[in-house]
Structure 1
Amino acid sequence: MTVSVVLFTADLRLHDHPPLRAATGSADHVVPLFVRDRAIEAAGFAVPNRRAFLADCLRDLDAGLRERGGRLVVRGGAVVAQVCRLAREAGAAEVHMAAGPSGYAQERERRLREELAAQGGRLVVHDAVTCVVPPGAVTPAGSDHFAVFTPYFRQWSAQALRTPVPAPRRVSVPDGLGSERLPDRAGVPGTSPGLAAGGESEGRKRLAAWLRRGVEAYEERHDDLAGDATSRLSAHLHFGTLSPVEVAHRARRHAGAGAEAFVRQLAWRDFHQQVLAARPATAAADYRTRHDDWRGADAEPDVAAWREGRTGYPVIDAAMRQLAHEGWLHNRARLLTASFLTKTLYVDWRTGARHFLDLLVDGDIANNQLNWQWVAGTGTDTRPNRVLNPLAQARRYDPDGAYVRRWVPELRDLAAPAVHRPWTSPSGPPRGYPPPIADLSTALTRFRVGRGLT
């Protein structure tokens, strides 16, 4: 009887799962394995919101496997050691897993391949599991990756996507393999009060509802802060409870401007993955340094006000409070808060990226870090010195102030436009709401001087 191991990482699903499909098609028994990676925990990435969402995902994955006669095996420790140990216990000749874009994922694959080979086993790595188009599948002449999105998107759009594979009807797991208990969301302290539920079942319901009711209006409404007209699928894509390939196929079947704009966002996700795969150091280092002289200790009070949603700029404060409450943030709000920190307050992008990773349930190294760099001007943005004015952005994307009033209750009695400029209210700003921590004109000058633009 042949046995294969399927190592689940950022692909916690049964539908359109090429590693699982390959394993069940070639072996008599399959061991679905998830390893609680101690290295990720030690690096500070196992934060409450993602731990709670992960617990939902693992429980849902186990339930789906049990419906098919199997179960999920959970182990804790160093990934390579635990996989090799389980392969020996089960007598498995092959381990199947999805490719990952980060430097850590690449090193994990290298070490796992070597260790398995040393004990007579084989690692099979599958592409296009956590992305639509794998890193390196499209490249410009003379380079190993695209540094500009538009030409990347043209080639990305021309790629023939693989056909999604169905979930297995049956998964036969060998007897006698020990497993840790599945984690429970209830056992995770410190989560955001409005944190969404995780798991493949939840993700598929959300996708179906989005394609049925939301995607057609996405092009015209995706920047509407108060309208909540985005898919909210990012956490499910991050944890892999939804297949990005399947999502792209299903969205394209809808056609129209909304579906095209939505698929473009999937391309942006892949774009950042291919940058990170080619340049792993960009997880912590500037992709294109601007030799910024970022503020130091003098910025600490401003950074604290930014984190707490008390900058005196209502649209920024609303966004930061939404982030704290939900562990999620509208993309336009991410851009505004990142620009405010890096360009208005002139604080190192890594400070903001770390705070986002501490809270975001969809916290993803490729997209979080490289989006922060894009906004800060140290990444792939072709207009690195643009500054988003929070007042102008608020007028455009929250014209009647509904988003601000939802998240900043101190201002709920103010009408637009005063809700975005409470210091202009005839009665003055409401008691308890702070004055602006920075003058926009002065801050712009500071940024331009710091970047050597004047």
Structure 2
Amino acid sequence: MNVSVALFTADLRLHDHPGLRAAAEARRTVPLFVRDRGVTDAGFAAPNRLAFLADCLRDLDAGLRERGGRLVIRSGDVVDEVCKVAAETDADEVHMAADVSDYARRREQRLRRALEAEGRRLHVHDTVTTAVAPGAVTPASSDHFAVFTPYFRHWSGQHLRAPLTAPRTVCVPEGVGSEELPSRTSIVGLSPGLATGGEAEGRKLLNRWLRNGITEYENLHDTLAADATSHLSPHLHFGTLSPVELAHRARQLDGPGAEAFVRQLAWRDFHRQVLAARPSAATADYRTKHDRWRSARTAREDIAAWQEGRTGYPLIDAAMRQLRHEGWMHNRGRLLTASFLAKTLYVDWRIGARHFLDLLVDGDVANNQLNWQWMAGTGTDSRPNRVLNPVTQAKRYDPDGAYVRRWVPELARVEGPLVHEPWKLRGLDRAALGDYPDPIVELADGLARFRRGRAGG
């Protein structure tokens, strides 16, 4: 009996899944997900992502059952568990998606060696979690693009494969043991407003976005109160949606909004090709500026104020509170809060990146770490010393103060532009703010400290 294993990782969907489609060509297929002990040991099993993952796995199992199959769940070392399932079912081959992190690539190498030692084959499929494979476009003088604009030009010229339909049937060998499906109800420490996971939910969001949101994306994506971004990043992170399908469907609509959205998909691929070429960028400066960052010990109180949304800068605090409540943050908020921590407070970017990974449901090594490096000035930004002013940015991207008032209730009754500068209030107006803090640092002082530290003075 011809048997294959479809190993799911960050690709928890049935639609447009090259690995699953290839595996389903066998007479019997084992759809397998391993709850990876290595991810837990590395500290990446954050509650919000575990809950979203549980939703995704339950939805994936439901979709497979509609097609005559089911999802097999195991826990432990991925290589050991895949080899056990392959031996139990006498599987000839295993199919999985390519990934770019150092851990994922080492896992792939270990799995290939182990399977080949048993006379089995591993097939790794590109363009499952990216629209364009990391090594598909490279400059003449390097193994990756370090600047986005030329990368995007080459990326845009690539022919994207056609999206694949979901398999009509999936026949699982009898007797393959599985653990129970996880449930978010057993997970503690979740953000109260955490979104629901799963391919069915992702496809609903996508259809709604393409129908009602994408047209105005170019005009509104930076306007914080409008909340006019797609909210699809968690589904891209867990692979419940295909970036190839998203790019195709957006391009069919045409227009500035669709073009701007596709550009964001390219940014996602850009970061993956950087990390694939420079895996150390997950933890080390991509381009060091020899910073003398403040550490977790020396900046303890400032870090706590930033994490809790009590810096005294309303837009920073609003964004950090949104993160804690939803496990998600508007992209403009991510840029501002990262700039504030790394440059205004001059705290090591890795501390901020770690906090984001602790809470973000779309917490992603490539996007998260390299966006943090971008804002810290140690990454691919061509203007590494730029500092975003949180007051100026607030007046530009939250001009009416609606975003701040939504997330910082202490300021809900402050009218007009003073909602972004509450320290200017006097007397009873200031007393009405209760315990909302004054700024923890003067912007000019923070800028001077950053310039001294970066200059090594």
d(CA) in 1 for partners of 2:448, 2:122: 54
The TM-score, its normalising length taken from structure 1, stands at 0.99
Quote the offset at 1:410 in angstroms: 0.2
**In structure 2, what is the equivalent of residue 272 of structure 1?**
271
d(CA) in 1 for partners of 2:29, 2:191: 36
**In structure 1, what is the equivalent of residue 151 of structure 2?**
152
Quote the offset at 1:415 in angstroms: 1.3
**In structure 1, what is the equivalent of residue 175 of structure 2?**
176
Indicate the larger mover: 429-438 or 12-21: 429-438
Deviations 1:248-284 (A, max 9, x none): 0000000000000000000000000000000101000
d(CA) in 2 for partners of 1:51, 1:443: 37
In structure 2, give the amino acid aligned to 1:8.
F
**In structure 2, what is the equivalent of residue 83 of structure 1?**
82
Structure 1 residues 202-351: aligned runs within 5 Å: 202-296=201-295, 297-351=297-351
d(CA) in 2 for partners of 1:12, 1:95: 16
Quote the offset at 1:153 in angstroms: 0.1
In structure 1, give the amino acid aligned to 2:240.
T
Of 414, 423, 440, which aligns to 1:437? 440
In structure 1, give the amino acid aligned to 2:442.
D
Contact kept, 8 Å, 2:307 with 2:320, in 1: the verdict is yes
d(CA) in 2 for partners of 1:361, 1:14: 21
Quote the offset at 1:405 in angstroms: 0.2
Aligned CA-pair RMSD? 0.8
For structure 2, the 5+ residue unaligned runs are none
> Measured at CA, do residues 453 and 213 of structure 1 come closer, stay the same or move farther in structure 2, by a change above 3 Å?
farther
1:447 aligns to 2:446 (yes or no): no
Contact kept, 8 Å, 2:292 with 2:456, in 1: the verdict is no
Indicate the larger mover: 100-109 or 266-275: 100-109
Quote the offset at 1:358 in angstroms: 0.1
**In structure 2, what is the equivalent of residue 101 of structure 1?**
100
1:413 aligns to 2:413 (yes or no): yes
d(CA) in 2 for partners of 1:244, 1:21: 17
Contact kept, 8 Å, 2:29 with 2:170, in 1: the verdict is yes
**In structure 2, what is the equivalent of residue 131 of structure 1?**
130
d(CA) in 1 for partners of 2:132, 2:40: 29
Quote the offset at 1:121 in angstroms: 0.2
d(CA) in 1 for partners of 2:238, 2:368: 14
1:389 aligns to 2:389 (yes or no): yes
Aligned-partner SS, 1:436 = coil
d(CA) in 2 for partners of 1:131, 1:206: 19
Deviations 1:379-438 (A, max 9, x none): 000000000000000000000100000000000000121100001124226111000000
The TM-score, its normalising length taken from structure 2, stands at 0.98
4+ aligned runs moved over 4 Å, structure 1: none
Aligned-partner SS, 1:205 = helix
Quote the offset at 1:298 in angstroms: 2.6
Quote the offset at 1:333 in angstroms: 0.1
Contact kept, 8 Å, 2:44 with 2:358, in 1: the verdict is yes
In structure 2, give the amino acid aligned to 1:43.
A
d(CA) in 2 for partners of 1:298, 1:128: 44
1:110 aligns to 2:109 (yes or no): yes
d(CA) in 2 for partners of 1:303, 1:395: 25
Aligned-partner SS, 1:419 = helix
d(CA) in 1 for partners of 2:107, 2:386: 38
In structure 1, give the amino acid aligned to 2:3.
V
Aligned-partner SS, 2:33 = strand
Aligned-partner SS, 2:404 = helix
d(CA) in 2 for partners of 1:385, 1:81: 47
Quote the offset at 1:184 in angstroms: 0.4
Percent of residue pairs bearing the same amino acid type:
71
Deviations 1:4-31 (A, max 9, x none): 0000000000000000101112x10000
d(CA) in 2 for partners of 1:421, 1:374: 27
Deviations 1:175-225 (A, max 9, x none): 011101000011111100000000000000000000000000000000000
In structure 2, give the amino acid aligned to 1:364.
D
d(CA) in 2 for partners of 1:247, 1:261: 13
**Number of residues of Structure 1 aligned to a counterpart in Structure 2:** 453
**In structure 1, what is the equivalent of residue 140 of structure 2?**
141
For structure 1, the 5+ residue unaligned runs are none
**In structure 1, what is the equivalent of residue 60 of structure 2?**
61
Deviations 1:118-160 (A, max 9, x none): 0010000000000000101000011100000000000000000
In structure 2, give the amino acid aligned to 1:367.
N
Aligned-partner SS, 1:298 = coil
Aligned-partner SS, 1:226 = helix
> Measured at CA, do residues 260 and 453 of structure 1 come closer, stay the same or move farther in structure 2, by a change above 3 Å?
farther
d(CA) in 2 for partners of 1:148, 1:342: 21
